[in-house]
Structures are given as C-alpha cells and as structure tokens.
Chains A and B, each alone.
Chain A
C-alpha cells in the first residue's frame, strides 16, 4: 500500500461525499459529521484508558522490582478488561442517605469533563475536534468542572471521609490551577495565539529546536508539577490518601460508578500529558510531517506516551506530601515563581529582539529564575529547620 495515500483528510472527504449523495440537507450533514467526530473521540478516549491502566501498572511493577500484571492475556494485556468486567458485574450500592441526584450525576460529570477536553487537542494538523480560538482557556474551563464532580461526589455520599476528600480536591485543584494557567499562558504569550493547533504550529522549526520546552524550560517544569497535582497523582494524591481519609471522595461508590471515576482519573492524566505535548513539545510536529500528515498522529501519541510515562514514573517513585506542605509549595513557591517568570517573559518579548537572540534570552531568564527560586527555597527551608522551637508549641513547618 502506498503510505502517502493515507491522508486523513481523504477519509473525511469520502464520508462527506457519502452523506451528500444520500441527499441530506447541509445542516443535517453538518450535525451528523459533528456527531460522528465526537463519537470517534469518545471511543478513542475510552479504549485508550484500558491500555493506559495496564501500562501504568506494568511500569509501576517494573520500577518497584515486581512483575506487574502478567496472568490475563499476553503480558497481562487483558488484565484491565477483566477488571472492567468484574466491576460491571458488581452490585451497584447507593448509600441510604445519599443525595441521589448529585450522587449519580458525579461519575458522569467526572468522565464528561475529560472527554470535553479531548475536543480541542490537535492529534495532527488536521485531526482536531474543534480548533476554537480560546483553546487554552477552554481547557481550563473544562478542568474546572472536574473539581465540581469531585465535590458533588464527596457531598452526596453523605460520608465524612468522602466529604473531606471532596474538600481536599477543591482546595488542591483550585490552588494548582493558578500555576498551571500561568505556565500555559507563557507559551501563549510567546506564540501569540490561544488556539491549540496554533501553538503546535508555532513550534515547527527543524528538528524540534522550536519546541517551547527548550526556550521555556521553567514554564514546562511548573506546568508539569502543577499537572501532577491537577491529575491527582502522587506525590499530590492527597485526595485519596488511604491512610488518612480511606479513599477520598469516591469511597462510597462501587461497581460501574467507581469504574467511571477510575476511568476519569487515567484519562485526565493522559489529557494533561497531551496538553503538555501540544504546548511544550511541538504537538504533532516531527520530521517529514509535512509530506505525510498521518505521521503527525504517531508523533503526537508517541510524545504524549513519553510524558505519561514520566508521570507514572514519578507516581511510582515519590512518597506522598502532607497537605500543608502541598498547599504552601503551591502558594509560596510555584505561584510567585510563575508570576516572576510571566513578567520576565513579557518584558523580553517587548524588547523585540531578533529571533535566535530572543530564544537565548528567554532560556537564560528561565534558568536564572529557576536557580534563584530554588536557592531561596533551600535557604528558607534550612532556616525553618534550624529555627529554635519552643516546647509544646505546635508549629507548622514552612516550605
């Protein structure tokens, strides 16, 4: 088969022709195409998770010197399918005093918000659900719905651990949304667009040297740390700290409803990795992508998987933070640093330097701010450690 003929546009054009030949009105065709696109994304997202769960368990196993799932299917590949079947057959329990409507709505909302996010992610130059001009903001808006789902679940379960878990989710997600947004806004500033595809296109120079991760490494670091927290992953997985609050907001859920939360969790991680790829790693950009657009999808998925792997790696390696440490790390370290970086980048862009010089200046500024921040952090931390403590005064260790 001729590889160059696999142009994704061709499939779309063929489908479009099919619909026209069936004699439908223009609006009808539009609606059907939109629905089919949405359905494709949905199916992609849901099946992807089956693989992601297996991947993460296998990785965690290897990192922790275990084998990981290896019984069901080759290399344990069908383990997740078996788990899903098990969850499907389990009894669906609703607590007697639960607030029924929000209780049943919450799992749906949790999955819904992640799938909504998929709509603006450019899988390749042409494969994108909707390239709206406020893509980055849209992602933040959709992410905001996620905390609502957790809060609803925590409240409606009528369980104190669930409620505490819900509160933790809100506190954590709202706090970490700020450095996340600030870190995402910096590439937006540099490229001058909020379209997700526009961001990917803006990083298109040869051999990946245009990727924002090279010029804005600190922005990426802040983004990555904040995305770990937004994805509720270790070391920020306080929402389900089993030693403290048993399992968090989804404690009362069982069967398929629990599976939905589980699904949302993994898909959310993957979506965050995809956003990181698009904004900082050039998205679908790669060698020969202009000649063969279908390659874009492969590049994109590959890069996203690598980022997802790093997330899983961190999760399998690091212990959990305490809640006050987590909050002060965000408010006293990430947010100020992101703000300083934001101001610095804005000033550098205003200088209107010629291209290679501007990139170098940005890089230098990033590294300088990172080093200063870390030095200051270390110093205050040491001071707090050695500060004289009065006996029996409960002190809150500061970062």
Chain B
C-alpha cells in the first residue's frame, strides 16, 4: 500500500495551532491538585497566544512563495496565507479580551482555549480547502466549536438560547451546503473544485448546486435572508467570542466563497447579479435594523450584518479587484470591530450568574470618566462608519471602487447611501459618550487590565496604520489576488 506523499509545509501554521490546542487541553492536568484560578487561566492563555503568534510567523514566512497543495485538497497560496493572518489576528485579539473576561464566569479555562484554537484551525483550513468535502469538514469544525463557545456562559439564559439557535440554524445551513455539494458532485463526478470548474455542465444542476452552496455560505456570513440568528447569537455569546467570530467566520467564509465561485462553472453574469441583490438587501436591512437597537452588542451585530453586505459588493465585483478589496476590508474590520467589542466588554456588568448586557446608556459620559477610552471607542466607531482617514474609510473606498470599475455603479451608490445611514447609529453612541453626563445607567468595569488594554491598543494602532498605509498594503494584497485570479 502506498501512502500518499504529503507536503506538511502546506499546513505548517495549522499544525502549530493544533499542537497548541492539544497542549492547552492537557495543561489542565499539569500540577494535578492546582485549583483553577485566574493566574492558572492566564498561564493557559499565554500558551495559546504563543501558539497563535508562532502560527502567524509561519504564515508570514510563507508569503510570496509559490502555491503548493496536498492532493489538491488543501492549498497554500498567498490568498490562504493572508486569510490565516486575518484569522490569527482576530483570534489573538479575541484571546486578549478573554484574558480577564473568562475567569469572571467559568472555571473551564483549558476547555475554552482548546475549543477556541480548534475553531481557529477550522477557519484556517476552510480558507485553504479546494475540495468540497474538506471544505465542509473544516466548516463543521469551526461551527461546532463556535456553538459550544457561544453557550459557554452556562449560568446565563441568553447564552443558552443563543447557542441553541446558532446550533439549530447552523445545522440546517450545513444541510443546505452538503446538498449543494452533492448536486455538484452529481453534475461533475468529483468534489475537487478544479474538476468542477472543468467539467460542470453549466446547466440547471450546476445552478441548483451552486445556489444551495450559496445558502450555506449565506448562513455563515449572516447575509440577509439567512441572518436571523446573528443578533441573538452575537448578543448571547461571551463578548470575546462574539468579537472573534464576527471577524474570523466571515473571513474564512468569504475566502472559501471566492474559491468556490472561481470554480463555479457558471458564468460571471449569472452569479454576480444574485450576489449584488443579496449585498443590497444585507446592507440595507442590517443598517436599518441597527438604528433601533438599544443594546450595544446587538447594535454591533446588525452592523456586522451590514458590513457583510459591504464585503459582498467586493465579491460581486469579481476575482481580481474585488478580492483584494475584500481582503483589505477584512483586515480593517478585524481591527476596528474587535476594538469596538473590546470597549463594549468593559461596559458590561459582570455578575454571579449572568453578565448584564451593555446598553447604549452604559456609555453615557464615558469621556468625562475615561477620556482616552472614549476617544479610542469613538475612533473605532468612526472607522466602522467609514470616516476618513481611518482604515474603514479606505476599505469602503476600495470596495466601491472595485464595484464601479467592474460596472456595478448602482451597487456602489447603494453602498454609499448605506454608509451615510450607518453613520447615524455609530455617531449616536459617540454623542452619548462625549456630550452627556454620567448617570446611574452608565457603567465601566475597572480597573482596565493590561491584556484588554493591549488588545485595544493593538486594534487602535492597526486602525490608524491601515488608514495611513492603505495604498501599499492594498498593492500587497492585490498581488495575492492577482495570483489567485490567474491560477
């Protein structure tokens, strides 16, 4: 029997994260009689963080190298490496948030970090897979890990509700995904994207398969007709998990979507119109619903739906321009969104059995109490709204530019109108922070710990730097996109 040759360098970052997850899982047994305590939790978190950093270094080291693959199932190209960087960045920031957040409500630290790292692995594999079964299994790895992480706050009713909703709808969407994969297999006799691209009949069967796959992706991306779970899940999940999954899942699903669409075997004109309609719906609905929210997390959840809509504009714009714009936006979104969630996590009241949700009123008079924090939060929110010269502005600029250049002018206009609408709810919070007095509804968890501070600082610096060095960075990403579109 000949075992297949496997080039392990293709998955070095993933292997590092898997090894870290296993170490973290077993860390519980080191010092057998030690009781779980915050310091112990910090030690475990430190190991996990080191693993993430090492994996990121491995991914960076690979940048620019030629694409290699394992049996045509997992591919290491620059697109995949940038995706890994986004996911690892989001994971590291989310981990820093969890540093002090986690010991507030649970003793199961190694389980949390192990699941967290495995979710990261799932996302990384998902963005690298070029075969439908591999894609599906990695999608399930990240989904199952996130279901559990969502419900990790066992004392809180909302967390249980969120986990259940996420699980049921997620399982439902997986069924759509696998059905679509089955139809594509029936059409082409292969699950490899390359073969599908070559052999797809382009007829009704291909269309039906692709449409079902799109539904599966739509659930994970929180695209509008399939977004129902998002507000409840983002609100119920522990804030560090929300911050991480709002970025990581989107990043992995968008990259995988690009890979699938490239191999679709259906003409660009066919699928781009569907995506344009989805993008319009998603942006508009997300922004309109966010206007009426009183909970900060829920507001950010709807805002993340709207942002998925913006990124869909990039997907509509096609492989080359759109892809680099979406990649850029993912980086920008990782910084600004997790930064915003980091500040939100400080506004939540920790409790014995439940962590109270942060309402918009909790931010009242934040400037008077913590001027620096208020300024930072304002910057994150302005960046999310797309105010120059922050990262979010350039992200949107590139997305709309890509749309205009590929002929989707009306889509770009809809996107701009939506940005204006979204400015209302971001600015409302800013106004509350700066122009009102603190009263009994306002709250701030204190003192600000080093880890959370570090996370906020990194996010801050990232948001600013991406804004300043937007051009060169986009060029870098553009090369990856070019390599991918050309392949």
Touching chains A and B, CB distance < 8 Å: no
